[in-house]
Amino acid sequence: MKLPPLVWGAALGLAAAILLAPFGCAALGDLAAARAERDRLAASMKRVVPRSVVQDGLAMPAADRDAANRLLAARIRLLAGRGAVLVEDAAPVADAAGLARIRVRLSGSEDAVIALADTIERTPPLARFARWRIEASGSAVRLQGELVAPWR
């Protein structure tokens, strides 16, 4: 009795499936372990407490961004008064990143204005010029720029 080719094909397919079953089960077990690890990591990422990028002592202590803007402007006025620099303007500017941001216009002698800019950037709390420009104005110079500072 001769078996039809379809029966031979089915028998060989069944034999191949039986021989490959352990490998398939191991792969499914590895896949299940990988999915469990991914879910565990995703859950741990949701529990992460937001942490500031700057150290606690470097951020300006303020309740909100408006208070931080006022505090930054007051600090600029205080430092400018010590260095004989005129603060022509110190106005808050909207910032999409949530930083305190003010636009300043300062004028005075070249040495005094540069020393003030250096003092602003070097002394805590942290404040940096996002953009600035210095122009000669007669015997004095005028610095125009935007200061940004993190707040907490």
Q: Which CATH number belongs to the domain containing residue 69 in this structure? A: 3.30.70.60
pTM for the structure as a whole: 0.65
CA distance 73 to 70: 5
The 10s digit of each residue's pLDDT in 17-63 is 888 888 888 899 999 999 999 999 988 888 766 666 777 778 888 88
Tell me: do 72 and 42 sit in the same domain: no
Q: What are phi and psi of 19, to 5 degrees?
A: -70, -35
Tell me: do 34 and 82 sit in the same domain: no
Tell me: do 127 and 82 sit in the same domain: yes
Tell me: do 75 and 128 sit in the same domain: yes
Its domain, for residue 29, covers 1-48
Tally of structural domains, the chain: 2
Q: Is the pLDDT of residue 72 over 90?
A: yes
Tell whether 111 is covered by a domain: yes
Q: Bridge-partner residues for 134, per DSSP?
A: 143
Tell me: do 120 and 85 sit in the same domain: yes
Q: What is the per-residue pLDDT for 136? A: 93
Contacts of 52 (CB under 8 A, 6+ apart): 59, 150, 152
Tell me: do 74 and 143 sit in the same domain: yes
The 10s digit of each residue's pLDDT in 96-126 is 888 899 999 999 999 999 999 999 999 988 9
CA distance 113 to 119: 10
Q: Which residue has the higher pLDDT, 115 or 138?
A: 115
Tell me: do 69 and 142 sit in the same domain: yes
User: Helix, strand, coil proportions of the chain in percent (round to 5)?
Assistant: 50, 25, 25
Q: What is the per-residue pLDDT for 49? A: 64
Tell whether 53 is covered by a domain: no
